[in-house]
Amino acid sequence: MLLVIFIRCKLIAGVAALILVAQSFELRAAGAGVLVSTERNNQVYVLLADHKKPSQITRGWSTLGGTIKDGESELHAAVREVVEESGGVLSAELLFSTVNPEVKTMTPGFTIFYAKVPFQNVDLFNLTKGSESKLGNSERGPFIWLPWSEVLAAAKKYQEQLNSDSGSKVILDKKFLPENSQTDWFFDAFLATVKSISETSHTNLYSLKPTVD
């Protein structure tokens, strides 16, 4: 009888260990990025880029980030991706000096950090490569500074459309889009995180009250 109890205890402990290991893998996101913000005329703006590619035609406007490589921490992956996607306009030194590693939003599969940077003209991000008709660089583009209030409004509309099962894209106001923009819609995956981003907030951009229920 004691042997049976011992075996059962070992099995339970083994199952518990497997569950903990599985949970630890789930907690590590597959990707990471940085929501880059700036402030002008007492208004907060966030840097967004068009993520549409031939192989990812449903993607739209979103923040910067990408896949975590083997051996990378979430923060290092996030900074590396933003440096690459901004064409080096945002440097690793600037981002590491600005990002608080303890302040982040963790969503299924993706972790978002935050950086408030000095304003830089969006034309610096929209470097043309290979074609004068294509804005952006080899990683992302075109880029825009979009008022955070517009993002909050778009996220609210996204939630309303989810509830109504309309399935349509949330469109950006044309006045914010470059003339040669590829798409005019938000990336759904980004809007789905906005409520969590608002709730993670600490300063400036993040202290604004979320408008999404």
The CATH number assigned to the domain holding 190 equals 3.90.79.10
Domain span at 98: 29-207
Residue 198 has pLDDT above 90, yes or no: no
pLDDT in tens, 107-142: 888 999 999 999 999 888 876 554 455 556 656 778
Position 189 in a domain: yes
Position 135 in a domain: yes
Domain count, the chain: 1
Position 103 in a domain: yes
Position 6 in a domain: no
Closest of 148, 192, 149 to residue 170, by C-alpha: 192
Query: What's the half-sphere exposure (Cβ side, CA atoms, 13 Å) at 56?
Result: 11
User: Most confidently modeled of 2-6, 117-121, 128-132, 194-198?
Assistant: 117-121
Rounded distance between C-alpha atoms, residue 54 and residue 124, angstroms: 24
pLDDT in tens, 73-99: 999 999 999 998 998 899 999 999 999
Whole-model pTM: value is 0.78
Position 3 in a domain: no
